[in-house]
Amino acid sequence: MVDSAVIGHAIAEKLTAARAASRTLSTLTTVQKNAALAAIARDLTTNAEQIIAANELDSERGRVGGMAEGLQDRLRLTHARIEQLSEAVREIIELPDPVGTMVRGAVLPNGLSVSQVRVPFGVIGAIYEARPNVTIDIAALALKSGNAVVLRGGSAAEESNRVLVEIIQAALRSVGVEPTAVQTVDEFGRGGAQALMRARGFVDVLIPRGSAQLIQTVVDESTVPVIETGAGVVHVFLDESADETTAIEIVHNAKVQRPSVCNALETLLVHEAAAERLIPGVLTKLAEAGVTIHADERTRELFPECLVAGDDAWGVEHLSLDIAVRVVADLDAAIDHITTYSTKHTESIITNDLANADRFLAEVDSAVVMVNASTRFTDGAEFGFGAEVGISTQKLHARGPMGLPELTSTKWVVRGSGQVRG
């Protein structure tokens, strides 16, 4: 199963250690895993100076290298942010442990007791960008769900991640948990990411986190099963019967409340028969909030203060205060547009027509479909999962917001007393 020729000997050693650690992790009790998390939370706080010193090296390199302001901000760790990371780990302690949950079970007519129970995946690989908070977040979620994890963060955060992983490993050691449960392959550079993607047999599932391009690369190159998360070209459709106030409030909230995240609105579709009634009010509220509007011709007739939306305006994930607006003939045209351009993350219809609501919910093939609600609600915490592992835009294994149970597999346990098949 284990072919170190494909991924290099040094990395294979790390992955073999991860596999060994996963065997002991899978047998830890919830109390033991929570003790490990508590030790990590504690040691993050007590080692804050060391973390900040390492992070300052990364940040300095970023500044000199001309890293964009936004990325520099995501990279930076402060005392306050480290305290938030610690707090996030403590919140994971409070979550129910999915491991051991019985999904279904029965006693068969022949007396065999058959049950399907949740078990850890084993070894999770994570490939992400220069955000040291993801290091802590993924490690804590993996540990709580009984998984070993091998991390490959962005090279721009290499010093920060190295120190964070050292602190995690020392914390694990302090409570008697195998420190190789959390490892990084950052020191192998791009080869580390390549190895994780080819490590079928070593790594049970790979989770990429970051830009659409990063995720696409992992999806294309990985032979390890991938959980695809992220990119959200999110649509709202204002149907003919949409209430004006509801339309104005939901579009504003979906676009403006936090434009940099994947559940933020990117394209607004408006029913032709409602365009004159709704567009002025909806777009005025957006313009007042500083949103740049890229609109088709019909929209610009009704609200001239827009940029021209070219053919490449649709299907764009801005993650900024930009929005594309298009008038469509009817519900079918709206669904067609969404089918063509959506990343299948979240779409919402604003309507008072029950039949149209039902058709939209049934025919739009996205992870989350909504009626009269802001797309910003697509979120693990909002759905009541406590922590969020990410938002899956694929259909296999998990779809939509993922919680801890989505970091587990299942196993069938069969207990007999000598039964044979007739």
Of residues 170 through 199, those in contact with a copy of itself by CB under 8 A are none
- 255: amino acid identity, one letter: K
Residue 108 within binding range of a copy of itself, rule CB under 8 A: yes
φ/ψ of residue 214, rounded to 5:
-60, -45
Between residue 253 and residue 282, which ones bind a copy of itself under the rule CB under 8 A? 253-254, 257
Between residue 294 and residue 313, which ones bind a copy of itself under the rule CB under 8 A? none
Residue of the chain from 220, 311, 312, 355 that contacts a copy of itself (CB under 8 A): 220
Residue 412 within binding range of a copy of itself, rule CB under 8 A: yes
| d(C-alpha 81, C-alpha 88), whole Å | 10
- 76: amino acid identity, one letter: R
Residues 123 and 15: beta-carbon distance below 8 Å: yes
φ/ψ of residue 350, rounded to 5:
-105, 115
φ/ψ of residue 36, rounded to 5:
-65, -45
Residue of the chain from 138, 140, 226, 324 that contacts a copy of itself (CB under 8 A): 226
Q: Residue 50 or 419: which CB sits closer to a copy of itself?
A: 419
CB 416 to a copy of itself: min, Å? 3
Residue of the chain from 30, 72, 217, 394 that contacts a copy of itself (CB under 8 A): 394
Site track 77-96 with a copy of itself (rule: CB under 8 A), x = hit: --------------------
Residue 368 within binding range of a copy of itself, rule CB under 8 A: yes
Stretch that binds a copy of itself, among 37-45, 161-169, 174-182, 410-418 (CB under 8 A): 410-418
| d(C-alpha 181, C-alpha 213), whole Å | 29
Between residue 121 and residue 180, which ones bind a copy of itself under the rule CB under 8 A? 121-122
Stretch that binds a copy of itself, among 134-142, 306-314, 318-326, 360-368 (CB under 8 A): 360-368
φ/ψ of residue 306, rounded to 5:
-130, 155
| d(C-alpha 127, C-alpha 220), whole Å | 14
Site track 17-56 with a copy of itself (rule: CB under 8 A), x = hit: ------x--xx-----------------------------
Residue of the chain from 158, 204, 240, 388 that contacts a copy of itself (CB under 8 A): 204
Stretch that binds a copy of itself, among 51-59, 117-125, 173-181, 188-196 (CB under 8 A): 117-125
| d(C-alpha 284, C-alpha 252), whole Å | 10
Residue 383 within binding range of a copy of itself, rule CB under 8 A: yes
Residue 212 within binding range of a copy of itself, rule CB under 8 A: no
Residue 320 within binding range of a copy of itself, rule CB under 8 A: no
Residue 369 within binding range of a copy of itself, rule CB under 8 A: yes
| d(C-alpha 234, C-alpha 324), whole Å | 11
| d(C-alpha 47, C-alpha 83), whole Å | 11
Stretch that binds a copy of itself, among 72-80, 131-139, 164-172, 243-251 (CB under 8 A): 243-251
Query: How far from the centroid of its chain's Cα atoms is residue 58's Cα?
Result: 24
| d(C-alpha 390, C-alpha 208), whole Å | 10
- Any idea what DSSP says for residue 200? B
| d(C-alpha 224, C-alpha 3), whole Å | 13
Residue of the chain from 56, 83, 91, 243 that contacts a copy of itself (CB under 8 A): 243
Residues 203 and 227: beta-carbon distance below 8 Å: no
- The strand pairing partners of 150, in sequence order, are 125, 183
Residue 370 within binding range of a copy of itself, rule CB under 8 A: yes
Closest by Cα among 378, 401, 384 to 95: 384
